Structure 1
Amino acid sequence: MHYIEGLSQAEIAKRTGLSHPMVNRLVKEGHERGYVRIEVKSPRQDLFELEQALAEASGLTEAMVVPTASDQDSVNLQAAGRSVADHILTVLRDGDTICVSGGVGVSAVIQAMEPTRAYDVTVVPATGGVQGKHFVDVNHLAAQLASKLQGRAFQIHAPIFAASRAERDVLMSLQSVGEVLDRARAARIALVGIGSVLSESSTYFSLHAPGAGGLDGLRQSRAAGELIAHLIDADGHLCDYPLNERVVALSPEELRTIPMTIGIAAGAHKAEPIAGILRGGYLDILATDEATGTHVLDILKRPT
């Protein structure tokens, strides 16, 4: 009567002369005895299964996969950015510190964020800055995010790459730089982009790092991707590459210790970088689109 005829429990009680509590008990007993089984068929079931498979294959706490709605990576990145923005607003608490990297992925999250109240939070850079890339520079993005949340932002007055390892050590020892990076280390949430390094669309060289062997040097380093300006190989390890010793930023190991590290990327050229970074265990949450996530899962299933 309840499941096949669609009658309410009150209607069943009236028709049978049983009490409403008795009908409720019988319906419940039908579940307990296995007479009734409920299946949920969602139009997004494939996405849920992909999210679960990515998490199981990589050790992620959560994967957030949006439909691939366009052949333009920027459109899919915007959709992934909205999912991250919504998630951050769900988990964000007053008193939190958020550290961010630069890049178009982080920018997509910030642009999509629509808070409904002010948050007493602090936003800090996780890396040094980049001259001439204002709209994706870490200082600009930290300020934008803090403005949207009505919190406060700190700026880092140092380049993302030093000219030498010795200069990097000097910059990292400066009180103004050290205080910002200490705040980043103490963050509860990190929001970072995932960079490609060998594709034509790679932004790694746009960081204007002073020479380190160019594209040939990158190939020899066996770099798969970039995370907070550090090159990571396909197995998730730091590459033996000169610029990795000259980065003014948190290290990937320090990033890993932040309680909730969210990475965002979309596009076929980001699949290999994502897979390498997932193998390194640097992220807790990954946001991407379905086509990219499927490619990443295929890579993760390959023997290394």
Structure 2
Amino acid sequence: MADIREDFDQQRQMYSVLVLHFIEGLKQSEIAERLNLSHSKVNRLIATGRKAGMVKIAISSPYQRLVDLENDLVSGFSLRHSVVTPTVSDNPETTLQMVGRVAAGHLLETLRDGDIIAITGGKAVSAVVENLEAERRFDVRVVPVTGGVQGKHYTDVNHLATQLAEKLGGSASLVHAPLFAEDAEQRDLLMNMASIREVFDLARSATVALVGIGSVEAPGSGYYDLLPDPARGGKALVDAGISGEFLAHLISADGSLADIDLNSRVVALAPGQFVNCRNTIGVAAGDYKAGPVAAALAGRYLTSLVVDEAVARHIIANIGVGDHD
């Protein structure tokens, strides 16, 4: 499966380079700068793409069905960018790692020196960090957008922020606070502590955000590992009209914040508070994430989306966009 993931990743990158060079007319040096690639790699990708027959009257892709799904997501939800990975296995972990690998590539393409990167916890974000391999160092700062839950690497947002900063060659600022306070009053006290407020102020000014999108239904969802009382999750939340989790806040199908006690206790920025963010990248894998992703899209919280084919097809079927076999 690793070979399939690597092949797809290279094909996607090759397709992007060919479009920029032959359709948009960019020079190889301009493509290298835009996608954060070396000039020699851009040259090699163009040569390989031409040899493989990808350059004709138009640029073709062996994953055209996925390109069609991506275009439907972009047009249906006013996204700037979307990547849909193929379904190559019934193993959810394989699908998750492929989404993480492709999202890592998109993150690297969008980064610029001086960026502030806001990050959440979650299995999908953890997969992005795990699969990230930068070709150069970036002068960036990584900041958590939520408090953390210790115990598992993907729920500890400080751990993920530190890892991401190390892999990029940047620095990290950490939030030393729990994800959930005991009540709204304690939450406000925590949010106003100088050390926590300073990091969240940095997060508000983030230029790039990497965020997971959680399900409240599936027991396999990482959101259950965040809850102070897991027994309050699942069917009870669904019955209350909750569609998913975004920045640790529970949201309804239209993307609005749910009127529920848990939201008043979350030590995190609320959805929509990235005032300077040029690219908010949502990452999710597994068909049970379709509802939560659709809710985040309805709230217009994302500018980019990286999901697997099953998620994309579920979302598009529900909004009636496109008709792909």
TM range (shorter): 0.7 to 0.9
Shift of 1:210: 4.8
Query: 52, 70, 84: which is aligned to 1:51?
Result: 70
Deviations 1:241-277 (Å, cap 9, x if unpaired)?
1111111111102147622100100111101111111
Q: Is residue 244 of structure 2 the alignment partner of residue 253 of structure 1?
A: no
Query: How far apart are the structure 2 equivalents of 1:80 and 1:213?
Result: 30
Deviations 1:50-82 (Å, cap 9, x if unpaired)?
000011111111111111111122211211111
Q: Which moved more, 1:219-228 or 1:163-172?
A: 219-228
Taking structure 1 as the reference length, the TM-score comes to: 0.83
Query: How far apart are the structure 2 equivalents of 1:132 and 1:234?
Result: 30
Equivalent residue, structure 2, for 1:228? 247
Q: For residue 156 of structure 2, what is the amino acid of its counterpart?
A: D
Q: Which moved more, 1:111-120 or 1:97-106?
A: 111-120
Equivalent residue, structure 1, for 2:108? 89
Taking structure 2 as the reference length, the TM-score comes to: 0.78
Q: Is residue 310 of structure 2 the alignment partner of residue 291 of structure 1?
A: yes
Q: For residue 194 of structure 2, what is the amino acid of its counterpart?
A: Q
Query: 101, 114, 133: which is aligned to 1:114?
Result: 133
Equivalent residue, structure 2, for 1:61? 80
Counterpart contact for 2:155–2:226, Cα < 8 Å: no
Counterpart contact for 2:124–2:284, Cα < 8 Å: yes
Shift of 1:162: 0.6
Count of residue pairs brought into register by the alignment: 266
Flag structure 2 segments of 5+ consecutive residues without an equivalent: 1-55
Equivalent residue, structure 1, for 2:39? none
Deviations 1:219-251 (Å, cap 9, x if unpaired)?
332111101100111111111111111111111
Flag structure 1 segments of 5+ consecutive residues without an equivalent: 1-36
Q: Is residue 215 of structure 2 the alignment partner of residue 196 of structure 1?
A: yes
SS in 1 for 2:129: helix
Q: How does 1:251-290 map to 2 (within 5 A)?
A: 251-255=270-274, 258-290=277-309
Q: For residue 139 of structure 2, what is the amino acid of its counterpart?
A: D
Q: Report sequence identity in percent.
A: 48
Query: How far apart are the structure 2 equivalents of 1:181 and 1:220?
Result: 32
Equivalent residue, structure 2, for 1:145? 164
Counterpart contact for 1:57–1:301, Cα < 8 Å: no
